[in-house]
Amino acid sequence: MKFSCSAVLALLAACWPGANAPAAEKPADLVMLNGKVLTMDAASRRVAAVAIRDGALVAVGSNDEARKFIGAGTRVIDAKGRMVVPGLIETHVHATGAARGEVNQPFVQLGSIGEIQDWVRRKVAASAPGAWIQLPRVDVTRIRERRLPNRADLDAAAPDHPAVFTWQYANRQVQVLNSTALRIAGITKDTKPPGNGKIHFGTDGSPTGMMENCGALTVKFMPSRTVPEDKYHDSLVKLLHNYNEVGITSIFERNSNVDGFRTYEKLKAAGRLTTRVTVTIGLGTDGTVEGTEKAIRNIPFKTGDGDDWVRVGPLKVGVDGGALYGTAFMREPYPKSSHALYGITDPAYRGDLRITGDKLKNIIRTGHRLGWQMSSHVTGDAGVDAVLDAVEASNADSPVAPRRYTLIHAYFPHEETAKRAARLGVCVDTQPAWYFKDGDTLADALGSDRLAGFIGVQTWQRAGVKVALNSDHMQGFGPDTALNPFNPFLAMQIAVTRKTQGGQVFGSDQRVTREEALRMVTRDAAWLSFDEARKGSIEVGKLGDLAILTDDLLTCAEDKMKDIRAAVTVVGGKVVQERTAK
């Protein structure tokens, strides 16, 4: 029998030891072993290890499965039995504004009129003669006396310097000026307010120092607060890292513009991004179809443009005001118990609707027709009714469910409202920290019955609406000390316990489980930006974003959830934050 040379070689190869063994896996960039991994996938699998290569997960399973991907250049992390979760998704921040603000004036929480006066005195002592003293933001719901400072309070602390306190949210701005500021700005008993502004006058006809929506009268006298781009970028990068420290790997910048989007693109190009960013674009329009279409077409991109690091999200429309400010548009009038807190004089007052029905329908239908995902700032229950009316009008043009319209805030849900939203495929982004920080004051002002449904995530969830928990972070750099704490573990704790900062519980039926709360900052949060196939769970093929936690989220004491931090935060297979062992 004769054999060809090639046949002999083939026979020898088949007999060679290891010839039938599988080819070695291409090494991963990072392998994490010995973890308690909550994958948050559809089956709620729990595994021990993962491997990440080229930014994506290539193995999710046992230690042995992940070890196959270890090579000479692989970083191996021993999780030492700690809990591992998908990278957390913070779906509502104002990071660019917070970054600029921290450069200008680091945020400080002032809790009483006395603390406000002490802060003013310190600023006076450190300022040049005649310099304007601009107070940090303080919400009236967090002031012990439950009132804003008045002219006399500021005069006592700054008799010779102009001082101005500004309280602003959505469409309402309240300023309080001391006597020196009133004099410099030329505001007298004869001054007329601009536009829809209001100047408060005393019984003697002189201005009290309080003004509403009258910023035009003072802005030209106060020094501008421009921030050099390099300092702004440095500040923003630092803030993104602070997000990483609490396990956040993706954020939604919730009311930005073209410049804001470009800022994140610049940071990405410079290799400085440590979180992924979805940018919501604020939409300014006159409410006509023609004006809205022109405004939208002037935006040089649309929903979905970008990449896994910086992507365009929805357009945002401001519909009403805020619950903390007495401007949320409600079905029922504000109770008498709230009038002093909010300065309400009309017993029939129900809040502010910034855009009326026809205009709102024009805006939402036009954005929908032009291919944008749409969202709205809306806090009150009547405001949500108005938005859903407009969404239904859009749905008559073409199905809206695939666009995932997002209600931003939506603080007072009713069962029938939630069912209506579910039928339209509407999503909700909402902020438990407002309940925690302000619930005690709001209960006294609005009544405990109304507070029982405030930020009622279970009402939405029972109806089948996807809910994302977030912070609305806008000032301050500390996860627990910012104006709106951006600690997602605090948000989850509040959703689980329904306890206010004062320890009260309103609406115990709105509590969720710990895994439900975690889903609202991972899997369901990803849904809001059409990213459920890319992130929100730990599965092969998805982005390699995860966090190793300092404690077990599912078994630690309820009141200790807020103390959890990320021991290690990984974005795209790269460690962006690692806590030093103490």
pLDDT at 1 over 80: no
pLDDT at 357 over 90: no
Measured distance CA(335)–CA(510) in Å, rounded: 23
Number of alpha carbons in the 13 Å side-chain half-sphere of residue 13: 6
Measured distance CA(41)–CA(387) in Å, rounded: 32
pLDDT at 553 over 60: yes
Helices (H), 281-371: 289-297, 339-342, 357-369
Task: Kindly list the distances between the CA atom of residue 84 and the CA atoms of 186, 251, 410, 537, 569, in Å, as whole numbers in the listed order.
Answer: 60, 19, 31, 11, 10
Beta bridge partners of 365: none
Residue-wise pLDDT tens digits, 82-96:
999 999 999 999 999
Higher-confidence residue of 23 and 384: namely 384
Tokens read off for 318: 């401001």
Average pLDDT, the chain: 95
Measured distance CA(445)–CA(527) in Å, rounded: 35
Measured distance CA(548)–CA(83) in Å, rounded: 6
Please answer whether residues 575 and 75 qualify as being in contact, where contact means their C-beta atoms are separated by less than 8 angstroms.
yes
Please answer whether residues 188 and 206 qualify as being in contact, where contact means their C-beta atoms are separated by less than 8 angstroms.
yes
* pLDDT > 70 in the chain, percent: 96
Measured distance CA(440)–CA(336) in Å, rounded: 17
Going by C-alpha positions, the residue among 200, 194, 213, 165 that lies closest to residue 352 is 213
Largest CA distance in the chain: 123
| pLDDT bracket for residue 98 (50, 70, 90) | very high
Q: Which range, of 298-302, 321-325, 336-340, 347-351, averages the lowest pLDDT?
A: 321-325
Q: Which range, of 15-24, 423-432, 519-528, averages the lowest pLDDT?
A: 15-24
For residues 249-257, give the mean pLDDT. Answer: 98
Q: In terms of C-beta density within 10 A (0-12 exposed, 13-18 middle, 19 or more buried), how is residue 225 classed?
A: exposed
For residues 98-112, give the mean pLDDT. Answer: 95
| pLDDT bracket for residue 427 (50, 70, 90) | very high
Q: DSSP 3-state assignment of 9?
A: helix
Res 2: pLDDT: 47
Structural domains of the chain in order of their starting residue, each with its CATH number: 107-217 (3.10.310.70), 227-578 (3.20.20.140)
φ, ψ for residue 258, nearest 5 deg: -60, -40
Please answer whether residues 180 and 144 qualify as being in contact, where contact means their C-beta atoms are separated by less than 8 angstroms.
no
Tokens read off for 484: 């709106």
Res 170: pLDDT: 72
Annotate 141-188 with DSSP letters as a single string: GGSTTSS---HHHHHHH-SSS-EEEEEEETTEEEEEE-HHHHHHHT--
Res 11: pLDDT: 43
Q: What residues contact residue 581 under an 8 Å CB cut-off, 6+ apart?
A: none
- What is the number of other CB atoms lying within 10 angstroms of the CB of residue 24? 9
Q: Please report, as a single letter, which amino acid is at residue 453.
A: G
Q: Long-range contact list for 286-294, CB < 8 A, 24+ apart?
A: 287/355, 287/356, 287/358, 287/359, 287/360, 287/362, 287/363, 288/359, 288/362, 289/362, 289/365, 289/366, 292/362, 292/363, 292/366, 292/367, 293/366, 293/370
Cα angle for residues 354, 355, 360 (degrees, 5° grid): 155
Going by C-alpha positions, the residue among 302, 300, 319, 320 that lies closest to residue 311 is 302
pLDDT at 14 over 90: no
Res 20: pLDDT: 37
Res 12: pLDDT: 43
Query: Would you give the distance in Å from CA 90 to the centre of its chain?
Result: 6
Q: Please report, as a single letter, which amino acid is at residue 337.
A: S
Res 225: pLDDT: 82
For residues 532-546, give the mean pLDDT. Answer: 99
Going by C-alpha positions, the residue among 459, 460, 461, 441 that lies closest to residue 451 is 441
φ, ψ for residue 220, nearest 5 deg: -75, -15
Computed on alpha carbons and rounded to an integer, the radius of gyration of the chain in Å comes to 27
| pLDDT bracket for residue 63 (50, 70, 90) | very high
Residue-wise pLDDT tens digits, 115-149:
999 999 999 999 999 999 999 989 999 999 999 99
For residues 397-409, give the mean pLDDT. Answer: 98
- What is the number of other CB atoms lying within 10 angstroms of the CB of residue 523? 21
Helices (H), 486-522: 488-497, 514-519
Higher-confidence residue of 21 and 213: namely 213
Cα-Cα-Cα-Cα dihedral sign, residues 390, 385, 429, 478: positive
Measured distance CA(39)–CA(62) in Å, rounded: 13
For residues 49-75, give the mean pLDDT. Answer: 98
Res 24: pLDDT: 61
Beta bridge partners of 210: 176
Query: Would you give the distance in Å from CA 519 to the centre of its chain?
Result: 16
| pLDDT bracket for residue 518 (50, 70, 90) | very high
For residues 17-29, give the mean pLDDT. Answer: 62
Tokens read off for 254: 């919730």
Measured distance CA(90)–CA(473) in Å, rounded: 9
**The residue to which tokens 């979180």 are assigned:** 275
Measured distance CA(446)–CA(448) in Å, rounded: 7
Going by C-alpha positions, the residue among 473, 489, 471 that lies closest to residue 547 is 489
Q: DSSP 3-state assignment of 491?
A: helix
Res 581: pLDDT: 63
Measured distance CA(488)–CA(470) in Å, rounded: 7
Pairing of strands 248-256, 276-282: parallel
Cα angle for residues 401, 402, 405 (degrees, 5° grid): 60
Res 5: pLDDT: 45
Q: DSSP 3-state assignment of 265?
A: helix
Q: pTM surpassing 0.85?
A: yes
Phi-psi region of 503 (alpha: psi -120 to 50; beta: other; left: phi over 0): left
Please answer whether residues 342 and 401 qualify as being in contact, where contact means their C-beta atoms are separated by less than 8 angstroms.
no
Please answer whether residues 491 and 433 qualify as being in contact, where contact means their C-beta atoms are separated by less than 8 angstroms.
yes
